[in-house]
Structure 1
Amino acid sequence: MKFKLIAAVITLVLTTSGCSQNMAEPLEAEALKDKSLTQLTLNQLGDTLDIKYRLISNYPDGCPTSGVDGRCFSAQIDLTSAIDIESKDWAIYFSQMRPVKSVSGEEFTITRVKGDLHKIEPTDSFKGLKKGFTKTIDFRGELWQLSETDAMPNYYLVSGELTPVVIKSTQVTKDAETGMELRPYNAAFTDADTQYRRSDTDKVQWATPEVLFLANQGVATQPESAVNTIIPTPLSVEVTSTDRPVSFAQGIKFNLNSIDAGSITAALDRLARIGVVHNEKGIEVSFEKLAGEQISGSYRLNIEEDSIEISAGDDAGFSYAIASLTSLIDTKYLSVNTMSIVDEPRYGFRGMHIDVSRNFHSKQLILDLLDQMAAYKLNKLHLHMADDEGWRLEIDGLPELTDVGSKRCHDLTESSCLLPQLGSGPSAESSVNGYYSKADYIEILKYASARQIQVIPSMDMPGHSRAAIKSMDARYNKYMALGNEHAAKEYLLADFDDKTVYSSVQYYDDNTLNVCMESTFHFVSKVIDEIAKLHAEAGQPLSIYHIGADETAGAWLESPICKAFLADNNRGIESGDELGAYFIERVSNILSSRGIKPAGWSDGMSHTRHENMPAQSQSNVWDVISHGGYKRAHEQVNLGWDAILGMPEMLYFDFPYEADPKEHGYYWASRNTNERKLYGFMPDNLPANAEQWTDIQGQAFEADDTVQLDENGVRVSGPIKKGMGFTGIQGQLWSETLRSDAVVEYMTFPRLLILAEKAWHRADWEVPYRYEGAVYNQDSGFFTQEMRARQLKQWSLIANTLGHKELSKLDRAGIEYRIPTVGARIDEGKLFTNLIYPGLAIEYRIDGGQWQIYSSPVTVEGAVEVRAVAADGNRRGRPLLVR
């Protein structure tokens, strides 16, 4: 033992004096044979332990191949040590999206700690790790894994009271050319049949270059078609001349008349970004305020050879007219044709949702997002700031929400932070932690107001509330220790004697507010009032607040407080099944009493009793069309609520663009939501989309929109009532797998531009809604061949506008949009390529050689890779191998 102590000291001296690690290793290896580890040895292990994660199959022996029940996947974790380890006094914590069901072998166990946090521990049978040798942990998990991004990063080592250490081999890296995250610890998928199929009936094709090449057919490269095209498409455009373009090379001169310059400053800044600045010698632009009632955001834009006139009824209209002018201007030539535009929006609510709670994202990202939303005429930012994994807004009087709830770290007591989740690692200093101060939030609000965008705050409740619950638990413990029981219980959200066993979709058993406690409603009211104060200070009154109200997992049933509440029955609640609705109804009325419209996700809102809800309520519909989601959407429209469409299979931007395991994102409703699919969405006729889409497994489905009755003759579903319809549309971005701002931009852009197109413009190829009801499938024929041809023609215009004009403007704004993967095939020895939107350069290389520009079909031989280039030439897309 004395020798070991001397060896450890010598190792410490050698290491700190700059001597090589190799010199220290033999002595350190001797120290590692002890029963416990030192901080030094734990650090060394974290630096050198090589971990590899590998999905083996979604069809292991002994698991069903169809359906959901009993399904499992098999995977492996390799541990390769650079040093000998005999100690059993350590554990590896890591995030595993699907819970581990079983482990093979006798040397290790894997247990789930909470949510997705798991722990690997050596057993009594552990025989040690030998330098240079690999030990493999075979395990099975629930359901399936279809993406390489499922393997979360930042495994970390824990031993006793030592400081936890991240295992370096499990950290993400950044690709120098694409800017995207790489996971060197995760083995690439190689087998489409066993690794990229969800079940034995799965027909989704891996988006190889050959598959993409076929999908991209029908869209020719037509740069001239982008010249007079605006995204989003105006109501009407009359081009009056193409041979005398109006040049902006000398800049632009403004005649504002009575228009407030501050209301259009942001729009003018975007114009300046592409090279058109104020100049007394520039072409004159005059503004005219239209009298009488106008649709908000509508405008008229008249471009003549020597002047431009803009007419609108409000600030939004003037800003949108400038946005259209900016869209028309080619960044290379700074000119436009003469034309006259009359425009107005399709929907009054044109929104984008971003989740900053699962993984925090910077204030600058939000400001950049707001800027681009305004550029494309979106007007609602749904800011999701509280969920299970984080609380992201400073609330006056409740510092614990951010002191504890805004960060995740390795504190198993959760007195200083939440448990690590989603690969966040053990440190509170991680970039996925953080919050907006009151000043930050006010800045966001003011920035949004200057761009005619309303911010809708969302703190999810009563489910998805673990961050709030644990923060208030910490507050309770703090004040109880001070002997102040009243303060301790004032905002308490949990009944400590509640023995209910439940599991949320994210595998939490403690994430739901106790809705039977008055302190819960005191907390909710406090949060609402403090957020309202911030809005008032920013000059954007709080008029919509999103409760969340979704995915409540069956809590409260064994809560003594709830049992007493139900026994008292002074609120007309008969059973525990009604408690979720009671919470939503009560909070909705709290909001309504303050002049604030309540909003919630459609599943929670559907549980409420309509007569108990405020007449002015908003439901955000997130139901999957192929699973009958149009039925709930129609039901909530018919209640007279503002129904906002957010259908996951095309409006969830955290889903993959293409069906490729290397693409980022979750995939529970869609594995391929690219820009073309989003453009094809028919939002005013949800069931009609069954004529052009397949479900999550690539199979055709039917949507029956006729009146359906139950056995008692009561209507359970049916068409929308005549004269009623959807209020708006919203894109959703959830951040469970999106840890960096760069990945958020990759997932959001350029899809946001097509979202804006659907929100602003009603295409003439969309199938009209049939209020009498109809049954839609791939043979029903409502979506005629003539409509399909018009859809393809108009998509070709949009696609060329993206590739030849709009993406270069995103480059100038510093937006790291996704560069599309290239469609390609080799026919008779020649390489042919295409892109989902033409206009970007394509490169190819052979046998790992130098990349070359692709300009026309070229003879190739060997292993051929293809990739696209950003509009400004500075970034590259992900390369694909043409087989």
Structure 2
Amino acid sequence: MNFVVALRRACTLTAIAAASCILAACHGDNDTPQVDNTSAHALTQTVSQNLKLSIAIDANKAAANGVACASLGADWASCARGRLILENNGTQNLAAGGWTLYVHSIRRLLSIDNASIALRHITGDLYALTPAKGAFTLAPGARLEVPFVAEYWFYRFSDMPPRAYVSVDGATPAVLAQNDTDDETRYVTALPPGPDDAAAFKATPAQVLRAREEAQALSPAQFAARPIPAVLREQTGDGDAQIQGVELALPALGAGELAALEARAATLGLAGGTAMRVSGQVAPAALPADIAISGGYRLTISRDAVNIDAYDAAGLYYGVQTLFSLIPAGGGRVPAMTIEDAPRYPHRGMMVDLARNFRQPATLRRLIDQMSAYKLNRLHLHLSDDEGWRIEIPGLPELTAIGGQRCHDLEENRCLLPQLGSGPDNQSGGGYLSRSDYVALVRYAAARHIEVIPEIDMPAHARAAVVSMEARYRKLRAAGNEDAANAYRLLDPQDTSNTLSVQFYDRRSYLNPCVPGARNFANKVIAEIAAMHREAGAPLTVWHFGGDEAKNILLGAGFQASDGTDPGKGRINLASQDQPWARSPQCAALLRQGKIASTDALPTMFARNVSQAVNDNGIATMAAWQDGLKHANGPQDFATRNVMVTLWDTLFWGAADSARKSSEQGYRTVLALPDYLYLDFPYTTAQQERGYYWGSHATDSFKVFSLAPDNLPQNAEIMADRDGQPFEITASGAASRLEGMQGQAWGEVMRTDTQFEYMVYPRLLALAERAWHRADWERPYREGERYKLGETDKVDKAALARDWAGFMNAVQSRELPKLARSGAVVRSSMRLSGD
């Protein structure tokens, strides 16, 4: 979930050029006359092969350098100044006219300083730059600089994604060849230091102690008995066991579970050699009360045998995974010991955004393998958003045929327009899970004690669905089938609301909750996905509604009316802006009938409607991002037995209070704190590290590891806010009752699966550590206790540093080699100097 401010959508700024040898006959997307196909193709190829684009950012806080950010309508009057540098690397002249260049920018482009080039926002992060015919000519080796102003700032190379493309009428668009790369440093030539480099980012006392502990080189014997994640308690025995292979004698497990464990053993190199017999049974009565819960177990390792007593099949499975964690890759010695253990939370999750950029099934299976190895048990799949629809729904083929692909089709009858640096040819951003893919994935996860939670985001972040269903509507209406055309239409055709979503889309970013087609659509999609789970033998128990960010960002606090005088806010025509659905006649009718109090309440009203469909399909729990339920009184407003809230406030913006309130209302509360648990944020402050950073400029594995989820105020004593500044939290009210926590891997900056895995591993292991195990340095929650970095000293930071050192050494020496054996791409260093 990305935050309210538009600090999130990554951006490529690009440029313009064309081939002079055929310019006289050529005209672009918006010009006439049309070119013939041969000339159009030649022009496209000449420009795309020879034009090089570089981007230079000259100033971030541009208002301080004389740029009229407020007059340009920048949020909080914050803007950046830069240059697009166009260079002709070919052997013939390149001249303006007859073409349009399409560029990506998640920072809103506010102006360009070149009167002969027309700038037009298309949708989302896509802009068109069209030069007038004859406006310029670039000789071979010549350069043209086009100054621009964009909202906010550019602090990371990944803020400027690649693959601007040229389009000429009558020809297939083509990406600029020299910008067809996922290495942003190849075309970003200047990037001023940002707040990442400011003196404010000093090591905290906890980080200083961390560095000292990392400097002590531990011997393997010092962490040989340290599983990942850590266990509730352990007692060492005499000697050790030499384990080169395993023989699993676990009759209580099903064939799928045994196959999963045997596959893990093979990955770890434990399939051959002299096998150690691993026996186990479900024996809840044999366990002490504190581990006699689902997932609880006792693992006993002696010199010549291993035995597991478990509360249930999950406990038996986790006992084996703990054994596997202790065994070095390829086999080796494990201390004789007895472990008693149980999970901290019932929800130990990982969210993967497939919508912005698709993840291949093989990559998801590898993620499931790693989640299973480290006892994470819920895979939340974000299957739809503005930029993509990623699951086949029988009877609605347009969702994947159009919503699952990107190409240059301005009418969007064949596909969605390119976004996020995808280019016009699906180099990234295309793909979907077929019905059989999804069933197989659910079955694969279930065998590894992982539950798949599907999310279809609505009513906002729904553009892929809306555009696909509009194409369906046009096709069926043209065929004379009006009823079928309207059955799943998601817009009120008379709605004229002028809105801008967080990702810079118009009203088609939001399905209209007041039209009959929206409820029909939700019912259809829920029923079809529930049927897939039943076919996989893993009935769906949690449905994620989404519900976030149904707003017009131009009505936020950072803007003022055109005649406003506040130098710290952007000036825009506020009178022309609407909240979503404000001008929808069908929503206005609900207002008149008293069925809703305001248009602001429409997302929660729709959530109530969807909860009925969820319940009707036998699904016990509906989940939503917290802002999707803000107009509800509590879970009693919904039809399902349980309602789960995925909480994505940052700690410095009030997450402790949000968690307490959600818990008090009776919601099952899951922490998804961006400043700790967003794995699409950068590891470090180095500008080459990719990621969004609106909630944290650096989230390394130590930061994830240091989270104290049961006592959120404590964290204010350990880490600073996103800008390196101390903040304080005083514990107020009763302690929150948490269902659990989960990591998030939003996909905007992860165009490839390689980038995805680099961002996820090894931080996933620190996430698993905190979701499974409560450390002794986590203080109990006490109402009234105040915490602030640099002012209070309640937390045992030395204990935190020692725990981290044991974790880090165990991960680097034992677990990273196992990740490498799995084929995963891993960021190898976890030390302060490299992580």
Pairwise TM-score range, normalised by the shorter structure = 0.7 to 0.9
1:604 CA drift (Å): 1.4
The answer for the alignment partner of 1:589 in structure 2 is 612
Matched with 1:223 is: 219
Q: How does the TM-score come out when normalised to structure 1?
A: 0.83
In structure 2, the partner of 1:720 is: 734
Residue of structure 1 equivalent to 2:558: none
Task: Rate the CA distance shift 1:203–1:110 in 2: closer, same or farther, 3 A.
Answer: farther
Q: Which moved more, 1:404-413 or 1:557-566?
A: 557-566
User: Could you tell me how far apart the structure 2 residues matched to 1:304 and 1:215 are?
Assistant: 34
Instruction: Determine the structure 2 residue equivalent to 1:147.
Output: 156
Q: CA deviation at 1:703?
A: 1.8
Q: Is the 8 A contact 1:299 1:311 kept in 2?
A: yes
State whether residues 106 and 126 of structure 1, in contact with CA within 8 Å, keep that contact through their aligned partners in structure 2: no
Identity %: 36
- Residue in structure 2 matched with residue 437 of structure 1 by the alignment: 434
CA RMSD in angstroms, aligned pairs only: 2.4
Distance 1:212 1:677, change over 3 A: closer
Provide the C-alpha distance between the structure 1 equivalents of 2:203 and 2:49, rounded to a whole number of angstroms.
36
Cα distance in 2 for partners of 1:264, 1:456 equals 23
CA displacement, residues 841-880 of structure 1 (integer Å, 9 cap, x when unaligned): xxxxxxxxxxxxxxxxxxxxxxxxxxxxxxxxxxxxxxxx
- Asked if 1 retains the 8 angstrom alpha-carbon contact of 2:75 and 2:151, the reply is no
**Residues 1:741 and 2:753 aligned together:** yes
- The 5 Å alignment of 1:408-807 reads 408-427=406-425, 429-509=426-506, 510-553=508-551, 554-569=579-594, 572-596=595-619, 597-610=621-634, 611-614=636-639, 616-706=642-732, 719-720=733-734, 725-770=737-782, 772-778=783-789, 781=792, 783-784=794-795, 787-807=796-816
User: Which residue is 2:13 aligned to?
Assistant: none
AA in 2 matched with 1:776:
Y
Counterpart Cα distance in 1 of 2:247 and 2:21: 78
| Residues 53 and 76 in structure 1, CA contact (< 8 A), matched pair in contact too | yes
Aligned length: 761
Letter in 2 for 1:690: A
How far is the alpha carbon of 1:263 from its aligned partner? 2.1
Matches within 5 A, 1:77-156: 77-81=84-88, 82=90, 83-123=92-132, 126-156=135-165
Q: CA deviation at 1:588?
A: 1.9
Q: Report deviation, 1:413.
A: 0.2
Contact 2:122–2:128 (8 Å) recurs in 1? yes
* 2:358 match: 360
Q: Quickly say closer, same or farther: Cα 1:606–1:687, change in 2 above 3 A.
A: farther
The residue identity in structure 1 corresponding to 2:614 is L
The verdict on how the C-alpha distance between 1:164 and 1:835 changes in structure 2, with shifts beyond 3 A counting, is closer
The structure 2 residue matched to 1:161, chosen from 157, 162, 170, is: 170
Matched with 1:266 is: 260
Q: Deviations over 1:572-600 (max 9, x none)?
A: 32322222221112212331233321100
The 3-state SS of whatever aligns with 1:238 is strand
Q: Map Cα deviations across residues 33-77 of structure 1 (whole Å, 9 max, x no partner).
A: 544453112112101111111211102223589996010001111
**Matched-pair contact (CA < 8 Å) for 1:108–1:137:** no
Deviations 1:170-226 (A, max 9, x none): 1115xxxxxxx454122253x42xxx1389x9834799xxx9999734312213222
Task: Report the AA paired with residue 83 of structure 2.
Answer: Q
One-letter amino acid matched to 2:42: L
Give the direction of change, closer, same or farther, for the CA distance of 1:335–1:485 in structure 2 (3 Å limit): same
- Structure 2 alignment gaps of length 5 or more: 1-17, 28-38, 552-578
Measured in 2, the distance between the counterparts of 1:238 and 1:64 equals 67
Cα 1:136/1:101, change in 2 over 3 Å: same
Distance 2:148 2:209 in 1: 38
User: How far off is 1:410 after superposition?
Assistant: 0.5
> In structure 2, what residue type is equivalent to 1:266?
A
Secondary structure at the counterpart of residue 264 of structure 1: helix
The alignment partner of 2:438 has SS state of helix
Pick closer, same or farther for the CA change 1:101–1:259 going to 2, 3 Å: closer
Q: Using the TM superposition, give the Cα deviation of residue 342 of structure 1 relative to its aligned residue in structure 2, in angstroms.
A: 0.6
Amino acid at match of 2:413: S
Farther off after superposition, 30-39 or 630-639: 30-39
Cα 1:258–1:469, aligned 2, differ >3 Å: closer, same or farther?
A: closer
CA shift for structure 1 position 29: 5.0
Map of 1:73 onto structure 2: 80
Structure 1 residue ranges without an equivalent (≥5): 1-26, 174-180, 707-718, 824-833, 837-883
Q: CA deviation at 1:775?
A: 3.2
Distance 1:297 1:765 in 2: 24
| Contact 1:234-1:761 within 8 A present in 2 as well | yes
Contact 2:102–2:126 under 8 Å retained in 1: yes
Distance in 2 between residues matched to 1:65 and 1:326, nearest whole Å: 57
17, 20, 30: which one pairs with 2:21?
30
2:195 is paired with a residue whose SS is coil
- Structure 2 counterpart SS, 1:297: coil
Q: Which amino acid aligns with 1:688?
A: Q
**By how many angstroms is 1:136 displaced?**
0.7
Among 217, 241, 256, the alignment partner of 1:246 is 241
1: CA distance between counterparts of 2:344 and 2:662? Answer: 20
Distance in 2 (CA, whole Å) between partners of 1:768 and 1:822 is 29
Letter in 2 for 1:56: D
Conserved? CA contact 2:98–2:133, under 8 Å: no
| Preserved CA contact (<8 Å) 1:361 1:432 | no
In the alignment, residue 80 of structure 1 is paired with which amino acid? E
The one-letter code sitting in structure 2 at the alignment partner of 1:557 is: A
Q: Which amino acid aligns with 1:283?
A: M
Aligned to 2:575: none
Shifted more, 151-160 versus 525-534: the winner is 151-160
Contact 2:252 2:313 in 1 (8 A): no
CA 1:696 to 1:471, structure 2 compared with 1: closer, same or farther past 3 Å?
same
Deviations 1:414-470 (A, max 9, x none): 11111111011112x434201000000011011001101000000100000000000
Q: Cα offset for 1:313?
A: 2.4
8 Å contact from structure 1 (residues 63, 70) kept in 2:
no
Matched-pair contact (CA < 8 Å) for 2:269–2:331: no
Bigger shift: 388-397 or 775-784?
Answer: 775-784
Mapped to 2, the partners of 1:223 and 1:75 lie a distance apart of 51
Contact 1:100 1:111 survives alignment (8 Å) = no
Mapped contact 2:96–2:134 kept (Cα < 8 A): no
Q: TM-score, normalised by structure 2?
A: 0.87
Please give the secondary structure, in 1, of the residue aligned with 2:383: strand
Hey, what's the Cα distance between the residues in 2 that align with 1:64 and 1:731?
Answer: 39
- Secondary structure at the aligned position of 1:353 is classed as strand
Question: C-alpha separation between the residues in 1 aligned to 2:19 and 2:791?
Answer: 73
* 3-state SS of paired residue (2:320): helix
Q: Which has the larger radius of gyration?
A: 1
Which structure ranks higher in relative contact order (CA pairs < 8 Å, sequence separation ≥ 6)? 2
Q: Which residue of 2 aligns with 1:392?
A: 390
The answer as to whether partners of 1:59 and 1:65 remain within 8 angstroms in 2 is no
CA distance 1:562–1:240, change in 2 (3 Å): same
Which string of whole-angstrom CA distances, capped at 9 and with x for unpartnered residues, describes residues 757-781 of structure 1?
00000001012111x3433222553
Q: Structure 1 residues 202, 65: CA separation in 2 closer, same or farther (over 3 Å shift)?
A: farther
Deviating more after overlay: 41-50 vs 649-658:
41-50
Amino acid at match of 1:85: L
